[in-house]
Amino acid sequence: MSIIAVRYAQALFECASEQEKLDEVEQDLAALQNIVSTSKDFNTFLDNPLIPLKAVTVVFRVLSEKLLFCPLTLNFLDLVAHQKRLKNLSDIIKRFRDLLRAQSNRVDVHISSAMPLGTNQLKSLTSLLKSKLKKEIVIHEKRDKEAIGGIVIQIGEYVVDSTIRTQLHKLQKAMRA
pLDDT in tens, the chain (177 residues): 689 999 999 999 999 999 999 999 999 999 999 998 888 898 888 888 888 989 999 999 998 999 999 999 999 999 999 999 998 999 999 999 889 888 888 888 999 998 888 899 999 999 999 999 888 898 888 888 888 888 999 987 889 998 888 888 898 999 987
Q: Residue 14 has what pLDDT?
A: 95
Q: Residue 16 has what pLDDT?
A: 95
Angle between helices 71-82 and 3-18 (to 10 degrees): 150
Q: Residue 1 has what pLDDT?
A: 64
Using CA atoms, how far apart are residues 50 and 53, in angstroms rounded to an integer?
A: 9
Give 29's contacts (C-beta < 8 A, 6+ positions apart): 73, 93, 96, 97
Q: What is the pTM of this model?
A: 0.67
Cβ pair 13, 100 in contact under 8 A: yes
Residue type, 55: A
Using CA atoms, how far apart are residues 153 and 128, in angstroms rounded to an integer?
A: 13
Give 60's contacts (C-beta < 8 A, 6+ positions apart): 74, 77, 78, 81
Q: Residue 120 has what pLDDT?
A: 93
Q: How distant, in Å, are the alpha carbons of 9, 32, 43, 149 from that of 38?
A: 22, 10, 9, 28
Cβ pair 147, 155 in contact under 8 A: no
